[in-house]
Amino acid sequence: MRLHFTKMEGLGNDYVYVNCFKEKVEHPSELAVRVSDRHFGIGSDGLILIKPSEVADFKMDMYNADGTQSEMCGNGIRCVGKYVYDYGLTDKTSVSIETLAGIKYLEFTFGDEEKNGRKTVELVRVNMGAPILAPEDVPVDLPDAGDIVQDYPIMVAGKEYRITCVSMGNPHCVSFVDDVDNFPLEEVGPLFENNPIFPRRVNAEFVELVSPTYAKMRVWERGTGETLACGTGTCATAVACILNGKTEDEVTVKLLGGELIIRWDRDANIIYMTGPAKVVFDGEIEV
């Protein structure tokens, strides 16, 4: 049986997207492992299924490259927004998408490119909801940390890191470092991801502050490894920067794959993420 897919990327964080209004995927975890392989598969950071929803306009199911399911994907949800508009699943210029981390709300900005006689989506702003800080909800197991794990010292591979833990529906651990470009992420990332203080493992972000409105970040993603960008991780980074008094409430974060703008509306307690979404190519594989 042939399965149609679209490979898309948000700042180089690339996933294989399947339109489940037309296609049937029976074993998504196995398919995620297969398509993600960069030598024997399509090559991606994971698999995202676009589905009908009973409570929102659309539903997104997300799987990492190792086949594990995540609650949420920030770069992925922008691509889902672009897909549902550009491929004609909706005429709406703002949509709601159900995820395992709740319903998210997207607004589209259009570029100059056209598909089927109308402009295509270039940028997507996502209302990501409120950051979750209670340690038991991140989850992070540090009984003496208090109400929030903020600037908390832990030892990893003989070095002290001061961590701030935030869930954006999925778990993140943010540490500030002096030189992110030369940070040994391949070595340290897995030690954070699998640290026993994180009962559901963790996505680990390492952040170098540049100014009160600008930071650089590299990420080690749970279930995938280093990626060129992580949307939820960038939101968590902004929250950690703001909570620790390092930046203003709107911050631009430079990732390996490009920049995202994150704003924390403190009055409404809502995080807004704005960034691009792109199609790489359409294809089909035998399943």
Ligand X SMILES: N[C@@H](CCC[C@H](N)C(=O)O)C(=O)O
Catalytic residue among 79, 173, 230, 241: 230
Helix (H) / strand (E) element for 241: namely helix 231-243
Q: What is the spatial distance between Cα 178 and Cα 174, in angstroms, rounded to a whole number?
A: 13
Q: Which is nearer to ligand X, 117 or 196 (CB)?
A: 196
Determine contact, residues 77/126, Cβ cutoff 8 Å: yes
- Write phi, then psi, for 229 (nearest 5 degrees): -170, 155
Q: Is 218 in the site for ligand X (CB under 6 A)?
A: no
Q: What is the spatial distance between Cα 189 and Cα 35, in angstroms, rounded to a whole number?
A: 23
- Taking CB under 6 A as the criterion, the residue among 6, 31, 60, 74 binding ligand X is 74
Q: Is 252 in the site for ligand X (CB under 6 A)?
A: no
Burial class (CB in 10 A: 0-12, 13-18, 19+), 187: exposed
The number of beta carbons lying within 10 Å of the beta carbon of residue 21 is: 12
Structure tokens at 60: 């997104």
In whole angstroms, how close is the CB of 172 to ligand X at the nearest point?
8
Q: Is 75 in the site for ligand X (CB under 6 A)?
A: yes
* Touching ligand X, residues 156-175 (CB under 6 A): 170
- Taking CB under 6 A as the criterion, the residue among 6, 167, 175, 203 binding ligand X is 203
- Residue 275 counted as an annotated binding residue: no
Tell me if residue 73 is catalytic.
yes
- Residue 127 counted as an annotated binding residue: no
Structure tokens at 5: 């897919």
Tell me if residue 79 is catalytic.
no
In whole angstroms, how close is the CB of 202 to ligand X at the nearest point?
8
In whole angstroms, how close is the CB of 1 to ligand X at the nearest point?
28
Alpha helices in 98-159 (DSSP H): none
- Residue 43 counted as an annotated binding residue: no
Catalytic positions, written as ranges: 73, 230
Residue stretches of the annotated binding site: 13, 64, 74-75, 170, 203, 221-222, 231-232
